[in-house]
Amino acid sequence: MVTATVLEAELLALAGSVPDPELPVLTLAELGVVRAVRLRSAGTAEVDLTPTYTGCPAIEAMSADIERLLHAHGVAEVTVRTVLAPAWSTDDITDEGRRKLREFGIAPPRVHRGPGPVPVTLGATRTLTTPPEPVHCPHCGSAETELLSRFSSTACKALRRCLACREPFDHFKEL
Amino acid sequence: MSATTATTAALALGDDALVLSHRLGEWAGHAPVLEEEVALANIALDLLGQARVLLSSAGDEDELAYLREERAFTNLQLVEQPNGDFAHTIARQLYFSTYQHLLYERLAAGEGEFAGLAAKAVKEVAYHRDHAEQWTLRLGDGTDVSHARMRAACEALWRFTGEMFEPVPGLDVDTDALRTAWRESVDTVLRRATLTLPEGPDSGGWAAGAGRQGLHTESFGRMLAEMQHLHRSHPGASW
């Protein structure tokens, strides 16, 4: 990455402070989706934003929120570019972001493993995961949880249920 | 790579994603259980996102999606096949998502036009493939009825699978190696599901590999009419 000026770093922090439209407990910086801010000239900024999923509909709301905030802080021209490469990964979510997800009732994604589905064995009526690291229930902390569906309320989440407290919960699945 | 062949490839892959996305969207309100309704809609959304990136690289995404005639679409005939029963949808998903995952893995490893998108999309498609494989196991190795339906679906769609391995101008992949990897993977899943790889021809004599040339099967025109009619009836409308 090109060395950013002090002002660019400030604008990056500002853009990163925008809350995620679908998970408002998280900021875009904690989600790891704001890649860079460049000043083209005085009052003209270009922001690089990466989508979590290629089809994530929240990206348009994110762009609009960033533009509005930078305008409000005196940047006259703001262009938000969507960049795909390098592809976003759930490993880009910060530790603070993970903590907030858990507090919000969403099990954070596990780290340091390859992306993609965790291999499962097929049970009689449902799949029980046997991953190297269990997904903990965000409510009671139990490691005894089961997968109900790989797809949930948004593309980035899977639906699970805790076998200890019986509460269903969303899991931010690894990508 | 010339601009023209890059556009040809972007349209082929973009049309695959767009058309399958629309077909999966047709399940909304009709899926067997709520979790499946959500899963199919999520898969459709991933595909729609990929289609938007690909079609935008070839021109105006809305014009390409809503204003082209049937013969201008270059999607595989496989993805336009009607949803049928749930087993047909799962067989279509198994055949296509295995192909798409293997293809995107190869494109992501290269340095071509589509490496960036492929590296992004391959992670999403891994979940689609896993979803299809899990359902194939459950239906194939399930009840007599689910086994029979899954087998019938795999057989019925088999003749549309050969087209996936026709070379596409602008896509730098070894299609023979792709076919071998695909057959191995699908064969393994079907065996585990107590099913077998269909033995009939994998393309139809009347129009082998013709989706990429703009020739489509009967139901595609009706699907397009439904997909395009709002945009065509109310040009420029927004809400």
The pLDDT tens digits for B192-226 are: 999 999 998 888 766 656 899 999 999 999 999 99
Q: Is residue A135 scored above 90 in pLDDT? A: yes
Using DSSP bridges, classify how beta strands A168-172 and A127-129 pair: parallel, antiparallel or unpaired.
unpaired
In a domain, A65, yes or no: yes
Give the pLDDT of residue B205: 66
Using DSSP bridges, classify how beta strands A106-107 and A120-122 pair: parallel, antiparallel or unpaired.
unpaired
| Average pLDDT value for chain B | 94
Q: Are residues A35 and A72 in the same domain?
A: yes
Give the pLDDT of residue A42: 82
CA distance B205 to B162: 11
Query: Quick check: A51 contacting B, CB < 8 Å?
Result: yes
A126 band by pLDDT with thresholds 50, 70 and 90: very low
Helices (H), chain B: 3-25, 34-58, 61-66, 77-80, 86-109, 115-140, 144-158, 175-192, 218-233
C-beta neighbour count of A29 within 10 angstroms: 18
Q: Are residues A117 and A59 in the same domain?
A: no
Domain containing residue A77: 6-82
Q: Are residues A11 and A37 in the same domain?
A: yes
CATH number of domain containing A68: 3.30.300.130
Q: How far is CA A109 from CA A70, A145, B224, in A?
A: 30, 14, 39
Query: Among all chains, which residue has been given the structure tokens 């005894």?
Result: A144
In this structure, what DSSP letter does residue A2 have? P
Q: Are residues A133 and A161 in the same domain?
A: yes
Give me A128's structure tokens: 């029980």
In a domain, A47, yes or no: yes
Domains of chain B: 3-233 (1.20.1260.10)
Mutate to test the interface with B, among A33, A91, A113, A150 (most CBs of B within 10 A): A150
Q: Which of residues 106-165 of A touch B (CB under 8 A)?
A: 115-117, 120, 122, 127, 148-155, 159
Give the pLDDT of residue A120: 45
Task: State which of A82, A103, A130 marks the end of a domain.
Answer: A82
Mean pLDDT over residues A33-49, rounded? 93
Among B181, B187, B216, B210, which residue's Cα sits nearest to residue B199?
B187
Q: Is residue A114 scored above 70 in pLDDT? A: no
Task: Name the residue among A87, A148, A155 with its Cβ closest to that of B35.
Answer: A148
Task: State which of A54, A82, A110 marks the end of a domain.
Answer: A82
In a domain, A88, yes or no: no
Give me B203's structure tokens: 């393309």
Q: Are residues A24 and A53 in the same domain?
A: yes
Q: Is the ipTM of this complex over 0.90?
A: no
User: Could you give the number of structural domains in chain A?
Assistant: 2
Give the pLDDT of residue B124: 94
Q: Are residues A110 and A165 in the same domain?
A: yes
CA distance B69 to B225: 10
Q: Are residues A58 and A110 in the same domain?
A: no
Q: Which of residues 162-221 of B touch A (CB under 8 A)?
A: none
Give the pLDDT of residue A161: 95
Residue burial B35-58, b: 16+ Cβ < 10 Å; e: rest? ebbbbbbbbbbbbbbbbbbbbebb
Q: Are residues A109 and A165 in the same domain?
A: yes
- Strand ordering across the sheet containing A44-49: A34-41, A44-49, A77-82
Q: Are residues A10 and A77 in the same domain?
A: yes
Which residues, given as ranges, of chain B have pLDDT below 50?
A: none
Q: Are residues A65 and A113 in the same domain?
A: no
Give the pLDDT of residue B139: 97
Q: Are residues A29 and A64 in the same domain?
A: yes
User: What is the number of alpha carbons within 13 Å of residue B111 lying toward its C-beta?
Assistant: 0
Percent of chain A's residues with pLDDT above 90: 68
pLDDT tens-digit series, residues A67-100:
999 999 999 999 999 999 899 999 999 999 999 9
A1 band by pLDDT with thresholds 50, 70 and 90: very low
CA distance A99 to A140: 14
In a domain, A89, yes or no: no
Contact: B127, A173; criterion CB under 8 Å: yes
Task: State which of A53, A82, A111 marks the end of a domain.
Answer: A82
Q: Per this entry, what is the length of chain B? A: 239
In a domain, A152, yes or no: yes
